[in-house]
Structure 1
Amino acid sequence: MSNSLHAVFHAIANVRNEQELKLALMDKIGEHFGVQHWGIYFLDEQPTAEIDVSGIPAVCLESNPVGRYVVERHAPAHEQLLLSPSDWKNFCSRHDHEHVMTGPIVCDGRLVGTLNLARDRGNPPFNGNDLADLSALCIHLSAKMATLRANSKVSNSLVPNPLTVRELEIAELVAQGLTNAEIGEKLWITQNSVKQALKRMFRKLKVSARAEMVAKLQDTQVS
């Protein structure tokens, strides 16, 4: 096993909360897998039976075979494991998603998120070694998530927070001045998904505007 993967494991072990995961892995994922794009996507809390396959941005189009494979089997996959290159292009024509690979993040027996990797056109496809490394990485991510969420349940019982981790991530990007389209691109979700999430967040916080939401969250943090 390469030293760079050990560095990823070490970074995961030292993460204190879900929001820190991306920052901790920012450079290490790209270095190890040779990808130009990657992201961690956390599902909103919902019953296992109601997981929205089309909403998981494992690749760039809805109802894709790679995403469905990961959801159904809780196992990593890349497009060439399931499709020929010509068939893959029927699902995705984006040059920045020439090759994709997705792995599951599992907690308490259910899928809570995915780790998504993409290579630009002109780069080699993912292979068996990449898939094995992603599988090992997802085991570490899943174990860490189980610990973080167990700790979060204790914390939330003391200081309830109306927003989910995903919604807090969106709120942070709103505070940075990003548009819905820009937020969707950063989080690997559709612009409509961002719009619907903001509607839920407004209802939870009893606000009617982005600036009002940001101000209310900042006041909560200060207090």
Structure 2
Amino acid sequence: MVHSLQTVFHEIASVSNEQELRLAVTDTVGEYFGVQRWGIHLLDEPFPPEVDVQAVPGVCMESNPVGRFVVERHAPVHEQLVLPTGDWKHFCSRHDHEHVMSGPIVCDGRLVGTLNLAREHGTAAFNVNDLADMSALCLHVSAKLATLRAKPKTSLCPLASRLTPRELEIAELVARGLTNAEIGEKLWITHNSVKQALKRMFRKLDVSARAEMVAKLQDSLVSVIS
């Protein structure tokens, strides 16, 4: 249970790679901010073809005022700061994106991603305290990401090197015991996208079952499943 923002900061500080960083944030911010939808979009990790982009909050994209604000100013914002009340629905009609807030993830002086939160219809709009917390959170995520990217990358085992970063992320969640639906929810992709990704991963690793895949990758996933 997330009692304070310091708890989230501690989770971020304890990670050892980018996959763990993403998971640490997505496992904690939803409860802390009281949101129904949330996620991280890293700009240097483009969505693969199988991703259902409609599952990603509109604030991840640059074609709306909230996204443009973050891209241009590298500062967090919610929809009521840049749009008249109610105008956000002209850009996003989703019931579970009634209120949105987005913040920048920066590294080496450039925007490399966004952290995105959304509340559904009937919930309170984001306020000045939420915005201050988002600013602090983005600072911690950005600093940790810069530290991770400055470190020499640990070499993967030959089998793990066959997988893409997204496929490794899926493998880590499989190792944690998550179902396809739960994996899709965490990664903002559809249940079918997870299923198809696993089929590709099985072919690459020459396995036929989830347990066999995790066993083959255990050296690369040891930090997650230990």
TM-score by length of 1: 0.69
- CA 189–109 in structure 1, closer or farther in 2 if over 3 Å, else same: farther
Is the deviation greater in 23-32 or in 127-136? 23-32
Q: How does 1:92-111 map to 2 (within 5 A)?
A: 92-111=92-111
Q: Structure 2: how far apart are the matches of 1:111 and 1:10?
A: 23
Give the secondary-structure state (helix, strand or coil) at the position aligned to 1:40. Answer: strand
Structure 2 match to 1:39: 39
Structure 1 match to 2:50: none
One-letter identity of the residue aligned with 1:155: T
Percentage identity across paired residues of the two chains: 60
The superposition leaves residues 119-162 of structure 1 with CA deviations (integer Å, 9 ceiling, x where unpaired) of 111111111221111011100111111112222x3424998935
CA contact (8 A) 2:41 2:114 kept: yes
Q: How does 1:211-222 map to 2 (within 5 A)?
A: 219=216, 221=218
Q: Structure 2: how far apart are the matches of 1:34 and 1:150?
A: 33
Aligned length: 207
Runs (5+) with no aligned partner, structure 2: 47-52, 221-226
One-letter identity of the residue aligned with 1:120: E
Give the secondary-structure state (helix, strand or coil) at the position aligned to 1:85. Answer: coil
Give the secondary-structure state (helix, strand or coil) at the position aligned to 2:40. Answer: strand
- CA 114–60 in structure 1, closer or farther in 2 if over 3 Å, else same: closer
TM-score by length of 2: 0.68
CA contact (8 A) 1:162 1:205 kept: no
The superposition leaves residues 26-78 of structure 1 with CA deviations (integer Å, 9 ceiling, x where unpaired) of 554234322122222233358xxxxxxx9994427852222222223221111
Is the deviation greater in 169-178 or in 133-142? 169-178
Q: Is the helix fraction higher in 1 or 2?
A: 1
CA RMSD of superposed structures (Å): 4.0
Q: Structure 1: how far apart are the matches of 2:60 and 2:153?
A: 37
Q: Structure 1: how far apart are the matches of 2:143 and 2:81?
A: 26
